[in-house]
Amino acid sequence: MIHKTQQRLDELESVIVREQDMLFRFAYMRVGSREDAEDIVQDVFLKLFRSSENLKSVRNVKHYLIRSISNACRDFHRRRQDILPLEKADKESVQDDDLKMHEEYLRITALARTLPQEQREVLYMKCIDGLKFREISDILDIPEATVKSRYRYAIQAIQKQLN
């Protein structure tokens, strides 16, 4: 039992070391707060450790975690109806280390907030997270053609806003 627990800890630790920064940024760009993003990522890792899911049985751990973080962010927004409005977000005190990321969050959120959720998520995954259309398709479990069309519509809508 102790050996299995240690083995699970070692597996999880290697995943955390490899993916933590990317997952934090992924969560931050969806919630706009360091503390909330850290909590979401930590909760996903804890759930993964506590679950009976064996990391070796997961086909693509990175995709599995991205999908889990994405779902956790959606749940976070559903639970919190008092989400920090964009107008107040720029007045929030932000640590110096987070200033650049927070400014990026504000710019992107201002442009993307008019998009439907499905388009916004694809746009974030492609432009912010740097995922390929095939990866987004796998993570969201939708056809690649649908991912591409959502991305195209999002880009067109943003171009229209900028003009």
In angstroms, the CA 65 to CA 60 distance is 9
Q: Determine the CATH number of domain 1-86.
A: 1.10.1740
To 5 degrees, how large is the angle CA 31–CA 37–CA 40? 110
Separation in Å, CA 145 to CA 17, 140, 141, 151 = 33, 12, 12, 10
Q: Is the pLDDT of residue 88 over 60?
A: no
Contacts of 12 (CB under 8 A, 6+ apart): 45, 48, 49, 55
- pTM higher than the cut 0.75: no
Q: What percent of the chain has pLDDT over 90?
A: 28
For residue 52, name the pLDDT band (cuts at 50, 70, 90). low
- In this prediction, residues 76-99 reach a mean pLDDT of 60
Spatial separation of the C-alpha atoms in residues 161 and 111, rounded to whole Å = 8
Check pLDDT > 60 for residue 84: no
